[in-house]
Structures are given as structure tokens and as C-alpha cells.
């Protein structure tokens, strides 16, 4: 059965970008419809089991990869998007990098324009520092190691309220303690009259006479169409590009889908004499920034503990068969860390005819060298914190027991699938910029080629952010929502 809906503005996707955009549009008095391809989740039904929660919360049941299968790309689906299963870290993009965006991407004044939106969303999602008494052993070991080496390190901020430290954030919070899009922004949008419709996958933006006229797609009962005065794409850095490409929207400079970054990360495990129990407590609360700088090309890797759940650790550790079983026998004693790249490799989104994303991305030489440096850094921190051996998941697994061996890691030649990488921060694809020949959207998220189509998600970033992106996506969602509301109210 075909369903038709009329509204002022349709928001596609309900994650970090779509939530605040919908909230601002609805607060402005506009009739808002949010279309979300995934289900509405009830946190009380979250089981904390990987085999159950991955298919429920993640795109492609968490098996999405780059087209060459070298990088696993984790993204969420369902009301709240990736904010339902993310790890709640909140960091602003560094001012130095925002200055580069202003200068090199034709976005003058962006830093000043964004600041009030950061402030509002930080207050609404209640960003605070993780208190020391909630910092787990996995995280404390990073601090011990970094301190022993004299490296830069410090606490992280998060958006949790009522967190009991169960540790299973990546599988959704059964205690509903995340101050995320599903808990903060979407209920606010609904309070102001918005309709949030799960199970609606958009396949195309419709246009007429040089304007967007709405969207069409597949819903729970068949095809649907929405007619709207404005369209906001918030389907993520892969999903929004795929919709633009599949719709054949005007794109004379072939910018749609370009400028993709992933922040790929590897996993490095340290085996300690005493249990670490890396799955317990708030997963990521301490960072090492010795090798991370917003704009220095030689310092582009962030070191942070990872959530040590069994499948995650098991799939990233070196070895197969009996040797993997032996490794997993020491699971309780493993502290896991990730070197995560502030990547300069540039990928590209392509799309199937029905708007499913195809992720083309290959790591460049500089990024592979930086990953080797990051593995060296992680190994040295773990050794300095007392690990008896460090496990490096290169195709020829390396077991490191001394600092000299760890230092040599910086010169190891890496390649595709060596080591296996995972990416949780896709960004870019419909990048902001002043020049329509080099970008897709302006600084308010407005698509250069249509006067009533906006992008409000991770697609907008013109480079890698080098920090976890959700806070900036919330802030841009808020900014774009207000800009779109102002434009539509005046019509
Ligand atoms: C495991 C994990 C941990 C993370 N931890 C952190 C962290 O600690 N801190 C941090 O800053 N970031 C973290 N992130 C990243 C962060 O969650 C994302 O960058 C952010 O949520 C992206 O926001 P978005 O609005 O661009 O997309 P999303 O939040 O992914 O929302 C996009 C939504 O659009 C929907 N959609 C897609 N296509 C369509 C379509 N065609 N029709 C209708 N709906 C569609 C999707 O189902 C999804 O719900 C993590 C991510 C993962 C995977
Ligand atoms: S650690 Fe806190 S936020 Fe994460 S799942 Fe457990 S209770 Fe929820």
C-alpha cells in the first residue's frame, strides 16, 4: 500500500545530526516529519549480548565494510542512529583545525558561528568529565603507562546521566543512561509536534523546477512519499551521500560522495599478570595525545582504551584456531587499546540505485606509517604499565615483550588487512566549503545546487576532525536546523 505524507520539512535520519535539526525545526513551529530506516528501540529490551544487539543496532548487522573489505565500518540504525550504541565521548574540534577549515575551505567565521551551538548542545546533553572514581583499570593502565613514559595524557568528557558503569555502551544502554539523540533531541522534537517515523527508508529526493519537493522510499507497508517545502538529509556520512547520488541531484562539479574520512583504528592488546576485566565500567575515560595534533601531519594518531567485549577482542587479536583459543583464555587479563588515525586518506561514497552506500577507501602510505607509529605507542604504553606481552594483530602476529621490540614497530610496513582495521567515525561525503566546485554545501549545510535541501550530519566535515565527531555533529545539527527553519519560516 502506498502512503503519502505532507509536511513543512522532512528530516531523513535521526542520529546525532537529525535529532537536533528536527528539534530546532519543530521549536520554530514547523510541521516536521523525521524518517528513520531502523526501528524505535526500547532500552529495557537491550540484552547486552553481541549476537543479539549487533543486528538490532548496527547497519548490515555490524558487517559493513569498505568495498575492498579491508576496514570494518560500524554505523548505527534505528531511532537515535549511532548515538544509541556509541561510547559517549564528547570533544570539540580544535580551534586550530577550525581555522584551517575557515582559511582553506572558504568558510570564514565558522569558528565563531559554531561556538554558541557547541555551548547549547553541551548543556542539553550534559557533557561532563568522567570522574576519577569511575575510571576503570583498563583506562588507569593507559594513564600509568603514559605517565611512566612522560607522554601527554588526560581525562575525557562524556554525555551520560544515571550511568551505573555496566560497560556495555557499544551494545546500547539497558539503563537508558545516554544523553543522546533518542533521549534528548527527538523527544523534544516530538514535544513540539514532530512526527518520528521508524521503519522508513528513503531511496530518493524528489525535485521539480530546481527545488527539492520531498522524498520517496520504502516503509513498513510498502512505498511512501513525502511532500515537503524543505528536505534535511541526516542519514550519516555514508547514507546522505548515497541518497544524493541515487537521486541524481544536480551536481555539476561531481562533489557528492567525495572527501570521505574514516578514523580507522587497530586493536593492540596487553596481557597483564592480574585481571583487567576490560569490559567492566565506563569503556573510554582516559586518552593519550602524545602523537595527536589537530594540524601537524606527523602527529595524527590518538591512543585510547577500547571496550573489551569478547567478540571485539577475539576478532582483533592475532592468531587463529588453537593459538586464538589460547589467547582468549587470558581474556580477563587483557587491556585493549586502539591507535585511531586522524586520517589524510580520502575515500568516496558511491551508491546503488536504491541508495545503499558503497564505501571506497584505501589507506595512503602516510596513514599506514602513522598507524605503525600508533601501534608502537600503544605497545610502549602497555609495556610501561606492566604488560608481560603485547599482542600486535599484523598478518604475521607479533608478540612484543620489550621496549626495543615495541620501538621497531614504528618501521613495520603495513598494508590492506594488515592489520585488520575498524572505523566508527565516517565523516565527509557532502563537505562544507565556500567554492561549489570543491564542496557540496555551504557553512549552514545548504546544498549548493538546491535552495531548500540541507545536510545536517557527519557528511559536512571538510577534513578528518581528529577527535570523536558526535559533539560537532550535534552542534552542526543544531546550527543547520536553525538555518533551515529561518529560511523556511520566511517563505
Ligand atoms: C561503536 C561506536 C562508538 C562510537 N563512539 C563515539 C564516541 O564515543 N564519541 C563520538 O563522538 N562519536 C562516537 N561514535 C561516532 C558517532 O556516534 C557518529 O559519528 C555520529 O552518531 C554520526 O552522526 P550522524 O547524524 O552523521 O549519523 P548517525 O548517528 O549514524 O545517524 C544516521 C541515521 O540515519 C539513518 N539512515 C541512513 N540511511 C537512511 C535512509 N536512506 N533512510 C532513512 N534513514 C536512514 C540511519 O539508520 C541512522 O539512524 C561512535 C560510533 C560507533 C559505531
Ligand atoms: S556504562 Fe553506563 S552508559 Fe554505558 S551501557 Fe553501562 S550504564 Fe549505560
**Residue 468: CB within 6 Å of ligand 1?**
yes
- Spatial neighbors of 187 by CB under 8 A, at least 6 apart, are none
- Our mutation pick for probing the ligand 1 site, out of 14, 84, 224, 239, counting the most ligand atoms within 8 A of Cβ, is 239
123-148: per-residue pLDDT in tens? 999 999 999 999 999 999 999 999 99
Ligand 2 midpoint to CA 460 (Å): 29
Pairing of strands 211-219, 301-305: unpaired
Judge whether residue 312 has pLDDT over 80. Answer: no
Question: Stretch 356-369: mean pLDDT, rounded?
Answer: 97
Q: What does residue 454 show for φ and ψ, rounded to 5 degrees?
A: -120, 155
Ligand 2 midpoint to CA 161 (Å): 9
Ligand 1 midpoint to CA 238 (Å): 10
Judge whether residue 491 has pLDDT over 70. Answer: no
Nearest CA residue ID for atom 6, ligand 2: 166
**Mean pLDDT lowest for which of 270-284, 317-331, 382-396?**
317-331
Ligand 1 midpoint to CA 82 (Å): 3
From residue 430, alpha-carbon distances to 134, 372, 396, 407, 475 in Å are: 38, 30, 38, 39, 17
Question: Stretch 292-303: mean pLDDT, rounded?
Answer: 98
Ligand 1 midpoint to CA 85 (Å): 9
**Site residues for ligand 2, CB cut-off 6 Å:** 160, 163-169, 173, 175, 177-178, 282
State which ligand 2 atom lies nearest to the alpha carbon of 172.
Answer: 5
Judge whether residue 323 has pLDDT over 90. Answer: no
Q: What percent of the chain clears pLDDT 70, i.e. is strictly above it?
A: 99
Nearest CA residue ID for atom 21, ligand 1: 82
**Residue 445: CB within 6 Å of ligand 1?**
no
C-beta of residue 434 within 8 angstroms of C-beta of residue 107: yes
* Ligand closest to CA 480: 1
**Residue 83: CB within 6 Å of ligand 1?**
yes
Judge whether residue 74 has pLDDT over 80. Answer: yes
* Ligand closest to CA 284: 1
Please indicate, yes or no, whether the overall pTM of this predicted structure exceeds 0.95: yes
DSSP SS3 for 230? strand
Q: Select the more confidently predicted residue: 314 or 218.
A: 218
Ligand 1 midpoint to CA 89 (Å): 13
Ligand 2 midpoint to CA 165 (Å): 5
Overall domain count for the chain: 1
- Quickly list DSSP for 466-487: SS-SHHHHHHHHHHHHHHHHHH
pLDDT value for 374:
98
pLDDT value for 490:
67
Residue 80 is part of which domain span?
A: 3-489
Q: What percent of the chain clears pLDDT 90, i.e. is strictly above it?
A: 91
DSSP SS3 for 41? coil
Judge whether residue 2 has pLDDT over 70. Answer: yes
Q: 436: how many CB neighbours lie within 10 A of its CB?
A: 17
* Ligand closest to CA 156: 1
CATH of the domain at 117: 3.50.50.60
pLDDT value for 1:
64
**Mean pLDDT lowest for which of 58-62, 265-269, 307-311, 343-347?**
307-311
Q: Catalytic positions, please?
A: 425
- What's the chain's average pLDDT? 96
**Residue 77: CB within 6 Å of ligand 1?**
yes
State which ligand 2 atom lies nearest to the alpha carbon of 283.
Answer: 1
Q: What does residue 180 show for φ and ψ, rounded to 5 degrees?
A: -110, -170
**Residue 87: CB within 6 Å of ligand 1?**
yes
Nearest CA residue ID for atom 50, ligand 1: 86
Nearest CA residue ID for atom 2, ligand 2: 163
State which ligand 2 atom lies nearest to the alpha carbon of 166.
Answer: 6
Amino acid at each position: 500500500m502506498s502512503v503519502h505524507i505532507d509536511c513543512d520539512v522532512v528530516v531523513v535520519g535521526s542520529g546525532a545530526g537529525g535529532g537536533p535539526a528536527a528539534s530546532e525545526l519543530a521549536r520554530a513551529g514547523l510541521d516536521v516529519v523525521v524518517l528513520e530506516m531502523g526501528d524505535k528501540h526500547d532500552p529495557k529490551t537491550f540484552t547486552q549480548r553481541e549476537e543479539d544487539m549487533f543486528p538490532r543496532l548496527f547497519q548490515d548487522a555490524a558487517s559493513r565494510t569498505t568495498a575492498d573489505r579491508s576496514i570494518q565500518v560500524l554505523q548505527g540504525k534505528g531511532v537515535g542512529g549511532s548515538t544509541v550504541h556509541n561510547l559517549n565521548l564528547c570533544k570539540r574540534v580544535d580551534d586550530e583545525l577550525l581555522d584551517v577549515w575557515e582559511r582553506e575551505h572558504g568558510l570564514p567565521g565558522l569558528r565563531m558561528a559554531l561556538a554558541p551551538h557547541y555551548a547549547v548542545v553541551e548543556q542539553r546533553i550534559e557533557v561532563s568529565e568522567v570522574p576519577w572514581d569511575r575510571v576503570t583499570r583498563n583506562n588507569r593502565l593507559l594513564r600509568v603507562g603514559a605517565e611512566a613514559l612522560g607522554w601527554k595524557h588526560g581525562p575525557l568528557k562524556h554525555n551520560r546521566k544515571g550511568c551505573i558503569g555496566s560497560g556495555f555502551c557499544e551494545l546500547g544502554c539497558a539503563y537508558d543512561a545516554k544523553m543522546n539523540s533518542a533521549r534528548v533531541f527527538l523527544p523534544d522534537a516530538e514535544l513540539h509536534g514532530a512526527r518520528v517515523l521508524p521503519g522508513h527508508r528513503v531511496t530518493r529526493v524528489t525535485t521539480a523546477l530546481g527545488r527539492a519537493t520531498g522524498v520517496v522510499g520504502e516503509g513498513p507497508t510498502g512505498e511512501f512519499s513525502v511532500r515537503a517545502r524543505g528536505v534535511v538529509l541526516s542519514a550519516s556520512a555514508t547514507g546522505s551521500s548515497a541518497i544524493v547520488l541515487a537521486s541524481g541531484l544536480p551536481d555539476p562539479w561531481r562533489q557528492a560522495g567525495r572527501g570521505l574520512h574514516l578514523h580507522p583504528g587497530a586493536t593492540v592488546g596487553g596481557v597483564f599478570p592480574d585481571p583487567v576485566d576490560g569490559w567492566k565500567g565506563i569503556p573510554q575515560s582516559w586518552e593519550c595525545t602524545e602523537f595527536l595534533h589537530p594540524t601537524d601531519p606527523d602527529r595524527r594518531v590518538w591512543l585510547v582504551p577500547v571496550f573489551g567485549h569478547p567478540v571485539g577482542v577475539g576478532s582483533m587479536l592475532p592468531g587463529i584456531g588453537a593459538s586464538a583459543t589460547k589467547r582468549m583464555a587470558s581474556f580477563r587479563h587483557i587491556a585493549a587499546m586502539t591507535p585511531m588515525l586522524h586520517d589524510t586518506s580520502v575515500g568516496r561514497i558511491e551508491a546503488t540505485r536504491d541508495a545503499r552506500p558503497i564505501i571506497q577507501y584505501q589507506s595512503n602510505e602516510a596513514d599506514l606509517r602513522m598507524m605503525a607509529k600508533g601501534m608502537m605507542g600503544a605497545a610502549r604504553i602497555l609495556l610501561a604499565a606492566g604488560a608481560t606481552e603485547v599482542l600486535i594483530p599484523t598478518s604475521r602476529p607479533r608478540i612484543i615483550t620489550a621496549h626495543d621490540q615495541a620501538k621497531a614497530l614504528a618501521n613495520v610496513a603495513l598494508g590492506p588487512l594488515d592489520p585488520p582495521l575498524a572505523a566508527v567515525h565516517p565523516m565527509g561525503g557532502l563537505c562544507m566549503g565556500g567554492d561549489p566546485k570543491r564542496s557540496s554545501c555551504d557553512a549552514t549545510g545548504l546544498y549548493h545546487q538546491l535552495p531548500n535541501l540541507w545536510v545536517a550530519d557527519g557528511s559536512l566535515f571538510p577534513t578528518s576532525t581528529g577527535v570523536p565527531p558526535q559533539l560537532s555533529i550535534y552542534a552542526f545539527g543544531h546550527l543547520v536546523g536553525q538555518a533551515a527553519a529561518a529560511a523556511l519560516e520566511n517563505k
